[in-house]
Amino acid sequence: MIKKFIDRESGKITEQKVMNAITIDCVIFGFNEGKLEVLLVEHAEGISKGQWGLPGGWIKEDESIDAAANRLLFELTGIADVYLEQLKAFGDPERFPLGRVITVGYYALIKKDDYDVKAGFTASDAKWYQLDEIPELIYDHREILDYSLNQLKNRVRQAPIGFNLLPEKFTLLQLMQLYQEILNVELDKPNFRRKILKMKLLVDLKEKQKDVSHRAAKLYKFDPAIYEKLTQKGFNFEL
């Protein structure tokens, strides 16, 4: 695409090729047995055949970026209606070997129980990886992944988004372990439970765990409506 540029000072007109291709790449986080995991796909064709990367694809002409991210997420993994937030645009001219392509990074938080996302659910292979087992990734996907991890660490302390990684009903210990894993810290059980409960953000479901080989813990759920009300009263989630 050729575009004319007018120099404001001299009035000179120059022509210059401008950017013309945009994709979306999505970091999908899951939480399983105390470990944070990321869903990666193996490319089945093209120059990156056999290599692992983030699920992604092209944005269509008539859809918003958010819509494209949701569509691609569903097309590639069957995942829908999840927490999905844009990270930023990545646009190093050399990031894609076959030409200039800018990509918009997203990250999703999913309840792994809800989606039985297994290897082989699409034509290309797909697999959950723990953070310390991530293979080499194509293009700048490692950079996008690292950026998303950092973003997750920051956001999770400022907003109640961690719940998106847990089942609908969860125990306080599960919640604490989630934060321990994401923030990479050790927390004190009694102190953590006090801090969370004091926010009055969680709904006590008056239910207990079943089929556990120890004292069953109370189950709670997160209610966005309650959070909404609290924020309107000036409440600020902070961990």
Partner DNA sequence: CAACTTATGGTAAATATGACTACAATACTA
Partner DNA sequence: TAGTATTGTAGTCATATTTACCATAAGTTG
Segment contacting DNA by CB under 7 A, of 113-121, 128-136, 151-159, 187-195: 187-195
Q: Do residues 123 and 44 lie in contact, with contact meaning Cβ atoms separated by under 8 Å?
A: yes
* Given 123, 173, 212, 216, the residue binding its own copies (CB under 8 A): 123
Residue 173 engages DNA in binding (rule: CB under 7 A): yes
Partner in contact with 1, chosen from its own copies, DNA, none, beta carbon below 5 to 8 Å by kind: its own copies
Residue 233 engages its own copies in binding (rule: CB under 8 A): no
Q: For residues 41 and 120, what is the distance between their CA atoms, to the nearest angstrom?
A: 10
Segment contacting DNA by CB under 7 A, of 18-26, 104-112, 158-166, 167-175: 167-175
Collapsed DSSP state (helix, strand, coil) of residue 197: helix
Partner in contact with 93, chosen from its own copies, DNA, none, beta carbon below 5 to 8 Å by kind: its own copies
List, in order, residues 6 or more apart from 42 with CB less than 8 Å away.
50, 51, 52, 124, 125, 126, 127
Nearest to 44 by CA among 105, 123, 134: 123
The total number of residues shown for the chain amounts to 239
Q: Which is nearer to DNA, 127 or 218 (CB)?
A: 218
Q: Do residues 117 and 78 lie in contact, with contact meaning Cβ atoms separated by under 8 Å?
A: yes
Q: Which is nearer to its own copies, 63 or 81 (CB)?
A: 63
Nearest to 41 by CA among 121, 104, 109: 121
Q: For residues 14 and 219, what is the distance between their CA atoms, to the nearest angstrom?
A: 65
* Given 13, 47, 62, 210, the residue binding its own copies (CB under 8 A): 62
Residue 190 engages DNA in binding (rule: CB under 7 A): yes
Residue 104 engages its own copies in binding (rule: CB under 8 A): yes
* Given 75, 114, 146, 188, the residue binding its own copies (CB under 8 A): 75
Residue 200 engages DNA in binding (rule: CB under 7 A): no
Partner in contact with 122, chosen from its own copies, DNA, none, beta carbon below 5 to 8 Å by kind: its own copies
Collapsed DSSP state (helix, strand, coil) of residue 58: strand
Burial (CB count <10 Å: 0-12, 13-18, 19+), residue 116? exposed
Partner in contact with 38, chosen from DNA, its own copies, none, beta carbon below 5 to 8 Å by kind: none
Residues of the shown chain interacting with its own copies in the complex, contacts defined by CB under 8 A = 1, 3, 5-9, 11, 16-22, 57-66, 68, 75-76, 86-93, 100, 102, 104, 122-124, 154, 158
